[in-house]
């Protein structure tokens, strides 16, 4: 399946029409033409081999002759049999403070590529960034683009607005890790090496640049949080998130 990937939330056998964002990517960046093979995915584990059939005006001509024209801003494809990719049981939830501006987009992109299952942009005592719902929708688009690049069939779940204590209680897990640059904290790599049994589901808390408050640390420890450090230096929030995701991916 070396064909380029495109996204369609309403994937089904037969003819499907992709949205304007996918049309721009397909005919602009990818320069696809009628008859070109693609892989279409819906972000919920369903993927299918398909072929471009119709391209909107302004997309150019195929080497095989003129194409049928779809409405402006649209592109259509003929979908063959759909395959379901099972969702992994090896799931990492990042409960993380939202960094500023483009650093948040970068974090979502890289954590998607590294297979993070759920990303909760939680609120902390020292949070300074509070993403709006419109920004969350843009981050969802960032995750789609990352999935297309890395051939990931499942989109990560992206949530925002939960206080850190509530976010920790939101789902079942086998381990709760709390990134903390303290000499008493166990290096994360050592913690992972000491796990006698494979950890199926874990959450990792990564606070804002102002750190975790004493109250937040106490609350997280009270529910079994394990303090871990990520190295000898104090990392930015988004760097810490990617570091945790990379180490977690190495356990698979």
Radius of gyration of the chain (CA): 21
- State which CATH number among 3.20.20.80, 2.40.50.140, 2.120.10.80, 2.40.240.20 fits the domain covering 5-84: 2.40.240.20
pLDDT of residue 200: 83
CB 245 within 8 A of CB 114: yes
The more confidently predicted of residues 251 and 132 is 132
Domain boundaries, the chain: 5-84, 91-249
Predicted confidence (pLDDT) per residue in 148-203, tens digit: 999 999 999 999 999 999 999 876 678 899 999 887 888 888 888 776 566 788 99
By three-state DSSP, how is residue 42 classified?
coil
Q: How does DSSP assign 209-223, residue by residue?
A: TT---HHHHHHHHHT
pLDDT of residue 143: 98
CATH superfamily of 91-249: SPOUT methyltransferase, trefoil knot domain (3.40.1280.10)
Same fold, 5-84 and 91-249: no
pLDDT of residue 130: 95
How far apart, in whole angstroms, are the C-alpha atoms of residue 149 and residue 5? 8
- Single out the residue of 54, 73, 71 nearest to residue 62, CA to CA: 54
Predicted confidence (pLDDT) per residue in 193-247, tens digit: 776 566 788 999 999 999 999 999 999 999 999 999 998 888 999 999 999 999 9
CB 165 within 8 A of CB 45: no
Range name among 59-68, 79-88, 193-202, 233-242 with the lowest pLDDT average: 59-68
Provide the pLDDT confidence category of residue 58 given band limits of 50, 70 and 90.
Answer: very low
């Amino acid at each position: 399946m070396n064909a380029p990937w495109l996204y369609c939330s309403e994937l089904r056998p037969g003819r499907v029409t992709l949205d304007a964002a996918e049309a721009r990517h397909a005919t602009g960046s990818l320069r696809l033409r009628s008859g070109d093979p693609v892989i279409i995915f819906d972000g919920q584990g369903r993927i299918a081999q398909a072929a471009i059939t119709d391209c909107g005006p302004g997309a150019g001509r195929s080497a095989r002759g003129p194409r049928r024209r779809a409405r402006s801003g649209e592109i259509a494809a003929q979908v063959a049999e759909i395959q379901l990719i099972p969702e992994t049981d090896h799931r990492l939830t990042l409960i993380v403070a939202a960094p500023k501006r483009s650093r948040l987009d970068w974090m979502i992109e890289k954590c998607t590529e590294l297979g993070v299952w759920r990303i909760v942009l939680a609120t902390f005592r020292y949070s300074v960034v509070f993403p709006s719902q419109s920004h969350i929708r843009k981050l969802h688009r960032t995750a789609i683009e990352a999935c297309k690049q890395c051939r990931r069939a499942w989109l990560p779940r992206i949530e925002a607005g939960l206080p850190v204590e509530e976010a920790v209680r939101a789902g079942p897990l086998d381990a709760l890790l709390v990134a903390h640059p303290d000499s008493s904290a166990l290096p994360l790599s050592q913690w992972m090496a000491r796990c006698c049994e494979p950890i199926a589901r874990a959450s990792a808390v990564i606070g804002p640049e102002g750190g975790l408050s004493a109250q937040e640390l106490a609350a997280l420890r009270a529910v079994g949080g394990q303090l871990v450090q990520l190295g000898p230096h104090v990392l930015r929030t988004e760097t810490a998130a990617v570091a945790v995701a990379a180490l977690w991916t190495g356990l698979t």
